[in-house]
Structure 1
């Protein structure tokens, strides 16, 4: 059934709600009204403080000034993630957002790196990795092609977007939702608030968090559970005072007994958390492990979050579209939560701007694409676990022996046997990112492409050493991250 959309109601605030409202109010001005109903029972999770480079595209699409955004959210720059103790205890590596040279043929940088038996990690051949290792940062230019993301306070980001969305015409309606009024065809007609108000709409965007008030609640859409592959189901989160002047330009993810711990550096504080599988480690023990890792005075009591990894079977049903946690959740190992919000908003806007009433084809395309995106992202996260050599606890023994999704098993086999960096559609991570994890986890092909040997070994060695020296010299001339951040914020002169 085709549907004309004049009134859009966003249910729930938080990152998903206000990111959606800001885009809809900006992109549909004059075409449809946008009203956000902030249900009082839905809070802000506030653990999504690390992002992927796509967040810059989102901010730029709204005309957000970078310095203004960083000031408003206490943000810092992020070059990638430092993974500690994932391969083995005592081993670490970086996954940064930069190219690792040519990826195939005789010029494949990783192939020549392995063939020449280079000392040091493959990341020494990657500009942002060396920047991260040395704690330095500069904005990319035409000569230095790399991407970056941000760390920021999610609560402050919500406040920033709320102001922007309302300036662009979005209406904010605080209220407690007590009933969801259905249409004859099964869709949603209106929201009934506790004070008697009735909020009607043509299209409802469910951003109500884990509760999934509309899609999972009123419409009872089934949940596709990923916990047999991603067993973590809880997290302790706790901010602490920032120690020292320097601010690392990267997130740290440290593998622990029953999960992993994050460290996210902001301008004014450091975010800490412990994501864990409650069937493999006791909740109280996980809390103790988090508190033992704090590198500053706690600013609040640790907060416990519980979740199940997976997604709703369909993301768009009748006239309800779920975006954010209401549609599904994949653990925050690669900072994909806000990325998946952006992805949902982008797909929705593409349908709304098609210039015709919404129809079943729009819903089917949205659902199929969103399902693939979740599955591809799931596979990328599982890669970090299943390649580990750790067998020192029940969690690591489990992930080393569990059956893998067919899409991931096929991809890993192509790499293991032939060194092929296979890419599907709807990937969340490109071939460089997959290679960074393979290299960091010391996972290499059983055989090399014969064409790699067409370049004389000595010539390849000289090229790699020269590239490494040039990168190191270039990075040494860059400012430390906190110095560059101060310049961007206008707190210091270059």
Structure 2
């Protein structure tokens, strides 16, 4: 039986707290204010949140602005720092590195195409020196650029548990009811949807729309409605992570996340103001769990503040994200490994799609829900392909994992993109892309993946003029970065 979409929504129940639950609650309380819709969030103290997603990318600024969060107040409350991109180490081969930064790489087409002239002139290496935020990150400098058109974007690195607590206070101030209780039964409607929740103490919660933010459990969409799970582990074989916080070392505070490729996966390092978040994402198919733990400990640059914690997961997504009167947001809808910090982004996208449905005034019918599901699932696949790109372009063959990802069959959508780039130098973009052409170019160049031939239009620019243009841009970037404050000093001044 296919549950019916609720004809009218007067009461929304959010199942689960954490980042997903409280981001959803804060957004709904803000966007639906004055519309007479009751919002309640129920969470159990017996269920721990994952709480290791401490890095984001620039879209988080849009969410914070939408719910009216002051940036300085947010940074102070969440132990936050600024992020200009991700530093990738040892991914193509051991000893090499590159940045995926949040800035442009010059003109992308025509005779002045920066990357095209770079390759035409036979210059070695990636394009980091041509990216303003990449050079800023390398030098440990940061400043919020002045509007109206900043030359680069930025994101944040923060404590996810503190962020959830910050949003909880905000959501409750705006009318969200917070219920603590352990759900022992999900009551069904005659058409197969969810009618209510039974708590361990006997209380019952009813609603018109239930938003599943229960994490990997996927209590409503997965367990109750049995929505099929599409497994992506044949492309993204990592299935576990060790996480461990450490003491902050030294005064410097890198304005970027670090991802270091290891034997059976990769290690993250995320600098916060008071501590550093560390983890080792790995595939238990290719490395022993305890060996992965040892390799994490070898990566630490400070004293551990807790014992490493093991997390298990499967990469993939639910076939549909919204079924009847149940909508999943966050880990309950699916999970793509944390390589590009997309978990909070996907939460934000789910919230945005829901808000459009609830506020545009159109009918909330099967067709609307189908559009929601199609867009959300497509976006999930687009991000999946971008993450796979980091693995399949490797030149490493020194362990079983890297040999596997270098030879595996790719999704057709990614294979087409890579062929268009290899043969014609075209960075093809589909609909529902999360990462733009500059992001794809950053990874292509960083992994030494270049087109087989150059566009003849590049020859219209004399070689000496092209070389001068490249060097002139690089020098201009160096001059712009030199007077900028160190990241830790800029933060200290902002938070004083």
Same fold (TM over 0.5): yes
In the alignment, the residues of structure 1 paired with residue 450 and residue 299 of structure 2 have an alpha-carbon distance, to the nearest angstrom, of: 32
Equivalent position to 2:385, from 379, 392, 399: 379
Structure 2 residue 283 is the aligned partner of structure 1 residue 277: yes
Structure 2 residue 462 is the aligned partner of structure 1 residue 449: no
Equivalent position to 1:104, from 105, 109, 116: 109
Instruction: Name 1:117's counterpart in structure 2.
Output: 122
Instruction: Name 2:475's counterpart in structure 1.
Output: 469
Instruction: Name 1:25's counterpart in structure 2.
Output: 29
Instruction: Name 2:236's counterpart in structure 1.
Output: 230
Aligned pair count?
Answer: 490
- How far apart are residue 107 of structure 1 and its match? 1.8
- How far apart are residue 357 of structure 1 and its match? 4.4
Alignment of 1:338-417 (within 5 A): 338-417=344-423
- How far apart are residue 41 of structure 1 and its match? 3.9
The answer to whether the 8 A contact 1:204-1:320 is kept is yes
Instruction: Name 2:302's counterpart in structure 1.
Output: 296
In the alignment, the residues of structure 2 paired with residue 357 and residue 423 of structure 1 have an alpha-carbon distance, to the nearest angstrom, of: 31
Equivalent position to 2:173, from 167, 174, 177: 167
Structure 2: segments with no counterpart, 5+ residues: none
Moved more, 238-247 or 21-30: 21-30
SS of match in other structure, 2:116: helix
SS of match in other structure, 1:238: strand
The answer to whether the 8 A contact 1:83-1:94 is kept is yes
- How far apart are residue 356 of structure 1 and its match? 4.1
- How far apart are residue 292 of structure 1 and its match? 1.2
Instruction: Name 2:336's counterpart in structure 1.
Output: 330
Equivalent position to 1:89, from 73, 94, 115: 94
In the alignment, the residues of structure 2 paired with residue 364 and residue 357 of structure 1 have an alpha-carbon distance, to the nearest angstrom, of: 12
TM-score computed with the length of structure 1 as normaliser: 0.98
The answer to whether the 8 A contact 2:357-2:368 is kept is yes
Instruction: Name 1:35's counterpart in structure 2.
Output: 40
Moved more, 347-356 or 380-389: 347-356
Structure 2 residue 224 is the aligned partner of structure 1 residue 191: no
The answer to whether the 8 A contact 1:4-1:357 is kept is no
The answer to whether the 8 A contact 1:50-1:150 is kept is yes
In the alignment, the residues of structure 2 paired with residue 204 and residue 42 of structure 1 have an alpha-carbon distance, to the nearest angstrom, of: 18
In the alignment, the residues of structure 2 paired with residue 453 and residue 26 of structure 1 have an alpha-carbon distance, to the nearest angstrom, of: 54
Encode CA deviations 1:179-200: one digit per residue, 9 max, x unaligned: 0010111110100111111100
In the alignment, the residues of structure 1 paired with residue 124 and residue 452 of structure 2 have an alpha-carbon distance, to the nearest angstrom, of: 20
Give RMSD over aligned pairs.
Answer: 1.0
Structure 1: segments with no counterpart, 5+ residues: none
Encode CA deviations 1:374-406: one digit per residue, 9 max, x unaligned: 100000000000000000000000001100000
- How far apart are residue 30 of structure 1 and its match? 2.4
Relative to 1, partners in 2 of residues 1:446 and 1:227: Cα closer, same or farther, differing over 3 Å? Answer: same
In the alignment, the residues of structure 2 paired with residue 328 and residue 362 of structure 1 have an alpha-carbon distance, to the nearest angstrom, of: 21
The answer to whether the 8 A contact 2:112-2:466 is kept is no
Encode CA deviations 1:234-282: one digit per residue, 9 max, x unaligned: 0000000000000000000000000000000000000000000001000
Instruction: Name 1:6's counterpart in structure 2.
Output: 10
- How far apart are residue 144 of structure 1 and its match? 4.6
Alignment of 1:170-319 (within 5 A): 170-319=176-325
SS of match in other structure, 2:40: strand
SS of match in other structure, 2:123: coil
In the alignment, the residues of structure 2 paired with residue 60 and residue 53 of structure 1 have an alpha-carbon distance, to the nearest angstrom, of: 12
In the alignment, the residues of structure 1 paired with residue 434 and residue 113 of structure 2 have an alpha-carbon distance, to the nearest angstrom, of: 22
The answer to whether the 8 A contact 1:131-1:137 is kept is yes
Moved more, 230-239 or 360-369: 360-369
SS of match in other structure, 2:184: strand
Encode CA deviations 1:41-72: one digit per residue, 9 max, x unaligned: 43211111000100011001111110100000
In the alignment, the residues of structure 1 paired with residue 384 and residue 291 of structure 2 have an alpha-carbon distance, to the nearest angstrom, of: 27
SS of match in other structure, 1:469: helix
Structure 2 residue 55 is the aligned partner of structure 1 residue 55: no
In the alignment, the residues of structure 1 paired with residue 200 and residue 255 of structure 2 have an alpha-carbon distance, to the nearest angstrom, of: 46
In the alignment, the residues of structure 1 paired with residue 492 and residue 428 of structure 2 have an alpha-carbon distance, to the nearest angstrom, of: 41
- How far apart are residue 120 of structure 1 and its match? 5.3
Equivalent position to 1:132, from 137, 154, 158: 137
- How far apart are residue 308 of structure 1 and its match? 0.2
Instruction: Name 1:76's counterpart in structure 2.
Output: 81
Instruction: Name 1:147's counterpart in structure 2.
Output: 153
The answer to whether the 8 A contact 1:11-1:39 is kept is no
SS of match in other structure, 1:77: strand
Moved more, 4-13 or 43-52: 43-52
- How far apart are residue 487 of structure 1 and its match? 1.3
